[in-house]
Structure formats: structure tokens, C-alpha cells
Amino acid sequence: MKPIHYAIAPLHPEAHLFAVTVTVDAPDPAGQRFFLPAWIPGSYMIREFARNIVRIRADAGGEQVALTKLDKHTWQAAPVDRARGPLVVSYEVYAWDLSVRAAHLDATHGFFNGTSVFLCVEGQEDQPCLVDIHPPEGEAYRHWRVATALPEAPGRGGARRYGFGRYQAAHYDELIDHPVEMGDFVMGTFKACGVQHDVVFTGRVPNLDLDRICRDLKRICEAQIRLFEPRGERAPFLDSNRRYVFMTMVTSDGYGGLEHRASTALMCARGDLPVRGQAEASEGYRAYLGLCSHEYFHTWNVKRIKPAAFVPYRLQSETHTPLLWLFEGFTSYYDDLMLVRSGCITEAQYIELLAKAWNSVLRGSGRTKQSVAESSFDAWTKYYRQDENAPNAIVSYYVKGSLIALALDLTIRARTDGRRSLDDVMRALWRRYGRDFYAADAVQRGVTEDEVLALVDEISGLRLSAQLRAWTEGTGELPLPALFKPFGIAAQARKPARGAALGIKTRADDGWVRIAQVLDGGAGQAAGLSAGDLLAAVDGLRVAPSGANQLDKLLARYRAGDTASLHVFRRDELHCLPVTFAREPATEYQLQVDAARNPLRARWLSH
């Protein structure tokens, strides 16, 4: 059987249209079906990419073939006699979503994920694929290149590295796991443990310090490869490709990333990237390195060690797993830990990041109502679709998941006197579930919740599974103060501020202050404030988004227990609400590191 043959071309960059064809040599004699995924792995939300298909037709042997739409993302071609030649489906995809999750095209660059542009040939998902990537037509585009971890096709017509031409994938699952960037981008390259890594930046960044970025990423990547393979001999993506690609779209205020098996698509803010000659690392740059570290760690944890529910991915509807606390939470724990272990941030900066994560979980009362297992399961309808009630209803499986990883790691280290750690658990997960996931003869298997818990007991030699289950399926507080102690770190509860608090979050709206969120149990909720209200006055004084009449300046005149009247507009009707101010409810912690050398801490944070 011949491979499925795709071709994609930026048809009209100005109109944001990609033209795509898929050619099938042996279509289903009963009528071939095609569908586009409803979601992209790594981003757990139904996005219905097929809505961006603007025009679609099928042909065989020079004649049009009827194409019937079956549901929101599936088409069926009329049966075609094989003697008429291959079935060709041609369509245009509107690409104007500036994110890492979909596709984007204009005269400055093109970017796409396969999930946005490549129709899946139903029943032939396991067939090898060829992809011709064409440049846009015209002199203006002659400097454009291609960045992708898709392997170049061998032989005549095969693309040269970074060039337009023919690429290949072993099957549809691989095809949609290598995003493609095209344009006149800036590129750097480095080797980590002897393996090539490319770093691509799209967008204008004057005086970008590319050498420094490559230097820092090399340290992070090598620390991660050695975490899983202590001799550093086997980067995970050597199973599908010989290299890894970091592709970053730079904008004024972007932030985000999506993991793939041999690459990652990232967005970051221009101001976060280092300028040549600038010695210090800004907070923004540390966050960018943390993002790179996070997505790179996913190369092991979720792209190869996978939850059982994702093997295989079912791309036409939601796929629920209770385990995102492991795949996103533990990845979030290791992203910053790898920065300190590789020397990209200091120990003090790392401890500060831990305190920040801990306090952010403590600030949301959602943590008392939802476990991280529930948050994982409902990611599709809750975490990814947050509304004004989110802080009252949702706990982040990222942040609380990272604290559970921390609690587990500290527990294992303290109770084995530093002989064992969470690193051993991750390595065992890797050896049993991840290392051979994409091997040609492998029976692909994901991990279940029970298997993870049993593995933690087995590898640590301790009985921790009941405790871990209570942390992931319960809503109690994590015993972090006690767990920090053996590491020479003191957790001190910060005293709540004495001032008046309303328990609301606001945002500026056209000269007004609009209430964005009302926190459960706060004074604002008791007074009857609602999200969406325009907060007009406190005791007859106008509330303004800036200047002397800012809300916090007005509230500074009151103490907890004082009363006042609030004026709000709701649906343009004025209401006067009496309020009794309360104290800030949340307990926050500060972490203080003992200056004395602590062998447990040294082993944990250095490598």
C-alpha cells in the first residue's frame, strides 16, 4: 500500500489560508471517511478545528467525487472504483489563531499543528505519511525556511534540513505531533549530551542574545537527559528523530507552550528575552527558561510515559484521566527544580518560587472543594474553561500537583536518609512505560493511577501509597511545614494584613472598576457584590481604576470590622449595599533557609 500523501501550501498569506490536499491510493470501497481532530494533545479542551475548513472537495481520475458531511468534523466520500486512480481531497484552512495550539499564517510567517490542517484518513491511521511543504509564491518569500522536527523524506524530492520539500511520518499520530514553523526566522543550535537541539525565534527581537539562550538551554536539557539516563547516552526523542526543536513565537505579551515528542511550540514576551550584553537574568527570562524546561520534561512525562486513557489518543471527543496531577503537576515540579540543579537560578530564587506556588494554592478556596484528581478529570470543562467562579471552585492540578510532587520527594528523601527520591520513581516510570513507547515492536501501554501508587511504594521501599492517594484524591492541606524541616527550611505563616478587605478581584473597564471575581466567604460576597458589577463608590467616594481614588487607597482608610456603603451598577441599575469589612482570610507562608549546610538539601537541589 502506498503512503498517504499530504501537501500543504500557504495559498494566500494575506488571507490567512493554507491550501491542503490529501491523496489516498486505497480508499475504503464503501466510501472513505475523513475527520479533523476536535482537540490537540496537551491542551485539554474541545476546539473543533474543522470549523476553520472553508472549502473542501474530493476528486478521483479528474472527476469530482461527492463528499457528504456526517458531523461537525467528519466527511465521507462517495465510493470510488480503484481503477479511477487515487482519491484526492482538497481544502482550505483559515489560519489566524495566534497560539501554540492551532495555525497562524500571514505575510511574516506561517505556523501549523497537524491537528489543524491534516485530515485523518479513517481506518488508515497506521499508514505511513508523506508531506510536501510548499513555500508561498512570490519573490517576497524567497528567504523563508522551515523549522520542524518532522523527519525529512529520503531520496529525490526529500526536503533538505530547514528547507521546503518532502517530509515524512510513520503514521498519523506522528504526523500531528510535529508542528511546523515557516518564515524568515532567527535560529541557534546547540548539542546536549551530543544530540542536536535547534532554537527558532519568530517575531522581531532586536539584539537577541541567542548564544546565552543556547548556553542556558543546553545546561537544562543535559540535566534532564541525565535525570532519566544517568550516563546521558539516550535522549528520548532519538526514537523518532535525531534532534529536538524549540520554536518560539515572540509577541509583546505572549506566554504559553505546548509539548510534542521531539519539539515544543512556545510563545513569549519580547521583554522576557535576554539582550546581548545584559548580564543579569530578569524574572521574565527565568520564567521563559522555566517554560522551556517544562515542555522539555514532557518529552518524557506525557509524550512517552502516558496516562492509560491517552493510549491511543481519541481525538474526536474529550478523553478523561484523573492523572494530570502526575503529568502536569510533577512536570511543573521538575521544571523549576531543573533550573536550580543546572545552575540557571540560585537556591534562594528556587525556594522563593516554591513559596510563591504554595501561596497561590492557599489563596483559592477551590482547594477545599476539588481534589487534583477531580481537577484532572474535569480539566475539559473546568480548568480549561475558567469563569468568574474559578477561584472558588477549582484547584490547579499544575500548581497543587507540583506541591504534591514536592511533598512526596521530601518525604522519600527524609525517610530514606537521602538514599531514595522522586527521581528514582520517575526513572522507574520511564524504564517501564516510556523508554520503548515508540519502539517499532512495542506494545504501547499507558500507566494507571493504581500502577503509579504501587510503583511509588516499590521504588521508595516505603508505604506511601495511602498518603499519596489522600493528597491526590482529598482536599486536606499538605503538611509542608513539617516536611521542610529536615531540609533546614522553616515555614513561617505570614500574619494577615490588618486592613479592610472586600474579597473581590477587579479590573479597569473604560474608566470604571468592574468586579471580576467575588471570593467565597469574603465581605464583598456577604454584602451582595457580584462579578460583573461596576463598583462606583465607597461611602460616596468615586472608585477609579487609577489615581487617588483607586480601590485599595480608599480601603486603606478602614479597618476590619468597620462598616461602609458601596454603590454598584448592575445591569445599569444603581444599588447601595452596606458592607462590613473583613480581614484578609488567607494564611500565606514565608520560607527561610537555614544558613548551615544541610546534606539532605544539598543532595536535593544540586546534582
Spatial separation of the C-alpha atoms in residues 239 and 242, rounded to whole Å: 8
- 280's CB contacts (< 8 A; 6+ apart) are none
Closer residue to Zn ion in complex, CB, 229/328 = 328
Q: Is 603 helix (H, G, I), strand (E, B) or coil?
A: helix
**Which among 294, 262, 250, 270 has a CA at the least distance from the CA of 176?**
262
Q: How far is the CB of 409 from Zn ion (least distance, A)?
A: 18
- Which residues on adjacent β-strands are paired with residue 74? 35, 71
Closer CB to Zn ion, residue 6 or residue 237? 237
Closest distance of CB 308 from Zn ion, Å: 19
Query: CA torsion 245→353→449→173, rounded to 10°?
Result: -10
Closest CA to 116 of 98, 137, 129: 98
Q: What grid cell was written down for 314?
A: 481519541
d(CA 380, CA 48): 13
**Complete DSSP assignment for 211-277:** HHHHHHHHHHHHHHHHHHSTT----GGGGT-SEEEEEEEEESS--EEEE-SSEEEEEEEGGGSPBTT
Q: Which is nearer to Zn ion, 328 or 533 (CB)?
A: 328
Task: Identify which of residues 92 and 328 has a Cβ nearer to Zn ion in the complex.
Answer: 328
Per-residue cell: 386: 475558567
Smallest distance from Zn ion to CB 263, Å: 14
| Nearest distance in Å: CB 294, Zn ion | 5
Question: Cβ of residue 293: shortest distance to Zn ion, in angstroms?
Answer: 11
Which CB atom, from 209 or from 328, has the smaller least distance to Zn ion? 328
CB of 292 to Zn ion, least distance (A): 12
190-218 core/surface letters (b: 16 or more CB in 10 A; e: else): bebbebebbbbbbbebeebbbebbbebbb
As measured in angstroms, the least distance from the Cβ of 298 to Zn ion is: 6
When the beta carbons of 105 and 220 are compared against Zn ion, the nearer one is: 220
At CB < 8 A and 24+ separation, what contacts does 210-215 make? 210/186, 212/274, 213/188, 213/273, 213/274, 214/188, 214/189, 214/190, 215/190
Q: How far is CA 136 from the centre of its chain?
A: 30
Nearer to Zn ion, 148 or 331 (CB): 331
Contacts with Zn ion, residue ranges (CB under 5 A):
328
Cβ proximity to Zn ion, 313 vs 569, nearer residue: 313
Computed on alpha carbons and rounded to an integer, the radius of gyration of the chain in Å comes to: 27
Give the shortest CB-442-to-Zn ion separation in angstroms.
24
Q: Which is nearer to Zn ion, 50 or 291 (CB)?
A: 291
The least distance separating Zn ion from the CB of residue 98, rounded to whole angstroms, comes to: 20
Q: Which residue is nearest to Zn ion (CB)?
A: 328
Distance between CA atoms of residues 458 and 541, nearest Å: 64
Nearer to Zn ion, 327 or 438 (CB): 327
Residues forming beta bridges with residue 55, ordered by sequence position = 92
Q: Which of 551, 526, 530, 528 is nearest to 541 (CA)?
A: 551
Name the residue nearer to Zn ion (CB basis): 328 or 423.
Answer: 328
Least separation, in Å, of the C-beta of 174 and Zn ion? 20
Beta bridge partners of 182: 110, 146
Q: At its nearest, how many Å lie between Zn ion and the CB of residue 200? A: 20
In the complex, the smallest distance separating the C-beta of residue 328 from Zn ion, rounded to whole angstroms, is 5
Contact indicator for 213, 164 with CB cutoff of 8 Å:
no
User: Quick check: 65 and 58 in contact, CB under 8 A?
Assistant: yes
Run of H or E including 572: none
Residue number, 5 or 101, with CB nearest to Zn ion: 101
Torsion sign across C-alpha atoms 356, 359, 361, 366: negative
The minimum distance between CB 396 and Zn ion, in angstroms, equals 12
Q: How far is the CB of 401 from Zn ion (least distance, A)?
A: 10
132 Rama sector, left if φ>0, alpha if ψ -120 to 50, beta otherwise: beta
Give whichever of 159 and 373 is closer to Zn ion, judged by the CB atom: 373
Q: What is the DSSP string of 486-545?
A: GGTEEEEEEPPPSB-B--EEEEEETTEEEEEEE-TTSHHHHHT--TT-EEEEETTEEP-S
Residue 15: C-alpha distances to residues 54, 64, 451, 583 (Å): 12, 26, 50, 54
Q: Which is nearer to Zn ion, 216 or 328 (CB)?
A: 328
